[in-house]
Amino acid sequence: MKIAGLPEVYLGTKKNTMAIKTIIEPFRIKMVEPIRMSSEEERIEYLEMAHYNPFLLKSENVIIDLLTDSGTSAMSAKQWGGVMEGDESYAGSRSWMKMEDEIREQTGCEFILPTHQGRAGERILYGHLGGPGKVFISNTHFDTTRANIEFSGSTAFDIPIDEGKKPSVEHPFKGNMDVDKLEELITQHKPLNIGAVILTVTNNSGGGQPVSMANARDVAEICKKYEILFVLDSCRIAENAYFIKHREEGFENHTYKDIAKEMYRLTDGAVMSLKKDGLVNMGGFIALKDPELAEACKNLLIITEGFATYGGLSGRDMEAIAQGLKEVFRPDYLKYRIKSTGFLGDNLHKMGVPIMRPTGGHAVYIDAKAFYSHLPVNQYPGQALVLDLYRKGGIRAVEIGSVMFGKYDENGNLIPSPMELVRLAMPRRVYTQSHVEYILEVFQELINEKDKTKGVKIVKEPKFLRHFTSHFEIIE
Ligand code: F0G
């Protein structure tokens, strides 16, 4: 099926001419993982078995898995080669030194601590800095960041700029932090009580939107003025660097890696989940400049993660990380990465599907409340869309709306989330342009039958993080 309005070229803005060529995947495929094709009838059955919750589906019954971009990257031949060379020594592993060198070079931080994933670093750093009475401020805390901060007894404030909260508004750096609010919050809560200011790049919970260097500089200046620790959540820093180079004046001639280094230079340290821009399936780190803070974190690391030269990782993981962190900054890779997410988002936009604009770096966020405008929020339009995507196309996505964030008032009525979004997260180097065209075709079918979609109700739910395990039913 041909989609109306689908450009002939990969994200080409003009007609297909000899001058503009398709942006191709900058890799050849050497090893393949078969996808089992299923029929709509089968998927209706699988959905029933999974109680209409995509987290309860078997992955082998999914055709295109867009649940997350985290830990789902394809590794390169060089990374797999490194896996065979991993040094599994308990202490002083050669693979650790390669990983440490690369991270030290990029972050400019003296003290690097390996962790098995991002949230392990968050637990160590924010657990140490936090505690009752402390306050953390971010453009938007990712769920696990907030959970670790709140678990320590501290409070977390999200202060994205106003544009960042409106899905349809176009802005080049919608991930920016509201610096006026930052100063207000610091004065209100007193600098001594601020555990840290955390800038998340790109802003995952805010639509994968980038943060500008100018904004990072402003945040750094305010943190310096009040002597507050400034931490970067750098999960997607390479993707953020791409947007800076192409959208912010003065960076046209910088390399992506230099832009990332410049951003790290403004901070006191970073926490990174390497499952994103590390191009690996597992890993993370904490990078710090202050020796005393690093020492305290190292002690916690040894108690809970592992010795300071592996921190919960195998030597082979660390070998793949050292290589992945180099590959992620390659211009051909980053161009393909950002343009392919844009290809999905921009074509959905052209087809009239309401999405968070402009398209972010790692994912497309659909505004399900606008797409299924006939469904009230207490019938979970986001979950309804997730179910339709799976039933029609075997595509797995995740609801980021009232299923995830909804609460109840004292009468048991739903207090909905401000937005009803569905995230289509793109794994790195995994799917090709034809997979994306297939996703667009499935959306065309959903558009044609939009008004027939029924709402959803929750029939069983746990007390916390209900989206993972709740059971749903279709409202007939
Ligand atoms: N920070 C951000 C911005 C994230 O997106 C994530 C994970 C983490 C921290 C935690 O890292 O998973 O390695 O412990 N995001 C994944 C997602 C889970 O699907 O967006 P982790």
473 Cα: distance to centroid of ligand 1 (angstroms): 29
Residue of 275, 399, 428 with the most ligand 1 atoms within 8 Å of its CB, for mutation: 275
Same domain, 226 and 341: no
Which pLDDT belongs to residue 405? 85
229 Cα: distance to centroid of ligand 1 (angstroms): 21
Checking if the pLDDT of 451 tops 50, the result is yes
Q: Which atom of ligand 1 is nearest to the CA of 200?
A: 3
142 Cα: distance to centroid of ligand 1 (angstroms): 7
363 Cα: distance to centroid of ligand 1 (angstroms): 13
Same domain, 430 and 403: yes
15 Cα: distance to centroid of ligand 1 (angstroms): 38
- CATH number of 222's domain: 3.40.640.10
Checking if the pLDDT of 5 tops 60, the result is no
More confident residue, 168 or 308: 308
Given 318, 349, 365, which residue is the final one in a domain? 318
Side-chain half-sphere exposure of 90, counting CA atoms within 13 A:
3
pLDDT tens per residue across span 230-274: 999 999 999 999 999 999 999 999 999 999 999 999 999 999 999
Query: Which residue's CA is minimally distant from atom 10 of ligand 1?
Result: 118
Which pLDDT belongs to residue 259? 98
Which pLDDT belongs to residue 205? 83
Same domain, 50 and 152: no
Same domain, 149 and 283: yes
Percentage of residues of the chain with pLDDT beyond 70: 96
Q: What is the DSSP letter of 267?
A: S
198 Cα: distance to centroid of ligand 1 (angstroms): 14
Q: Which amino acid is at 359?
A: T
pLDDT tens per residue across span 33-70: 999 999 999 999 999 999 999 999 999 999 999 999 99
Same domain, 239 and 336: no
Query: Which residue's CA is minimally distant from atom 18 of ligand 1?
Result: 70
DSSP calls for 233-261: E-TTHHHHHHHHHHHSTT-TTS-HHHHHH
Which pLDDT belongs to residue 63? 98
Same domain, 343 and 364: yes
Would you place residue 206 in the very low, low, confident or very high pLDDT band (cuts 50, 70, 90)?
confident
Query: Which residue's CA is minimally distant from atom 15 of ligand 1?
Result: 70
Checking if the pLDDT of 3 tops 60, the result is no
Mean pLDDT of the chain, nearest integer? 94
Dist. CA 268–CA 235, nearest whole Å: 16
Checking if the pLDDT of 222 tops 90, the result is yes
Same domain, 356 and 455: yes
Q: Specify if 385 maps to a domain.
A: yes
Residue of 276, 400, 423 with the most ligand 1 atoms within 8 Å of its CB, for mutation: 276
Q: Which atom of ligand 1 is nearest to the CA of 273?
A: 13
pLDDT tens per residue across span 394-426: 999 999 999 998 889 999 999 998 889 999 999
Q: Specify if 323 maps to a domain.
A: no
Same domain, 56 and 143: no
CA–CA–CA angle 122, 365, 200 (5° rounding)? 25
| Pocket (CB within 6 angstroms of ligand 1) | 68, 70, 117-119, 142, 144-145, 200, 204, 233, 235, 273, 275, 284
Residue of 55, 70, 271, 280 with the most ligand 1 atoms within 8 Å of its CB, for mutation: 70
Same domain, 84 and 53: no
Q: Specify if 243 maps to a domain.
A: yes
Q: Specify if 375 maps to a domain.
A: yes
Q: What is the mean pLDDT of residues 21-25?
A: 90
Same domain, 296 and 346: no
Q: Specify if 396 maps to a domain.
A: yes
pLDDT tens per residue across span 354-377: 999 999 999 999 999 999 999 999
Would you place residue 18 in the very low, low, confident or very high pLDDT band (cuts 50, 70, 90)?
low
Q: Left if phi > 0, otherwise alpha if psi is -120 to 50, otherwise beta: which for 190?
A: left
Q: Specify if 398 maps to a domain.
A: yes
User: In sequence order, which ranges of 351-421 are alpha helices (DSSP H)?
Assistant: 368-371, 381-393, 402-405
Checking if the pLDDT of 385 tops 80, the result is yes
Same domain, 364 and 470: yes
Same domain, 98 and 185: yes
Dist. CA 327–CA 348, nearest whole Å: 29
pLDDT tens per residue across span 129-167: 999 999 999 999 998 999 999 999 999 999 999 999 888
Q: How many CB atoms lie within 10 A of CB 20?
A: 16
14 Cα: distance to centroid of ligand 1 (angstroms): 36
Which pLDDT belongs to residue 19? 66
The first and second tokens of residue 279, run together, are 């191009």
155 Cα: distance to centroid of ligand 1 (angstroms): 19
Number of structural domains (the chain) is 2
The first and second tokens of residue 293, run together, are 């803070």
3 state DSSP class of 273: strand
Side-chain half-sphere exposure of 411, counting CA atoms within 13 A:
2
Do residues 390 and 383 make contact, with C-beta atoms less than 8 angstroms apart?
no
370 Cα: distance to centroid of ligand 1 (angstroms): 27
Given 290, 318, 346, which residue is the final one in a domain? 318
Dist. CA 126–CA 149, nearest whole Å: 6
Dist. CA 47–CA 473, nearest whole Å: 10
Q: Specify if 172 maps to a domain.
A: yes
Q: How many CB atoms lie within 10 A of CB 473?
A: 13
pLDDT tens per residue across span 87-130: 999 999 999 999 999 999 999 999 999 999 999 999 999 999 99
Strand order in the sheet with 230-233: 111-115, 284-288, 269-273, 230-233, 194-200, 135-138, 155-158
Which pLDDT belongs to residue 345? 97
- CATH number of 468's domain: 3.90.1150.10
202-216 per-residue burial string, b: 16 or more CB within 10 A, e: under 16: bbbbbbbbbbbbebb
Given 318, 349, 372, which residue is the final one in a domain? 318
Which residues have CB under 8 Å from 46's CB, separation 6+? 38, 57, 58, 61
Which pLDDT belongs to residue 471? 97
Q: Which atom of ligand 1 is nearest to the CA of 398?
A: 19
Q: Specify if 7 maps to a domain.
A: no
273 Cα: distance to centroid of ligand 1 (angstroms): 6
Which pLDDT belongs to residue 424? 98
The boundaries of the domain holding residue 161 are 77-318
Query: Which residue's CA is minimally distant from atom 2 of ligand 1?
Result: 142
Residue of 144, 151, 234, 279 with the most ligand 1 atoms within 8 Å of its CB, for mutation: 144
Residue of 136, 177, 200, 235 with the most ligand 1 atoms within 8 Å of its CB, for mutation: 235
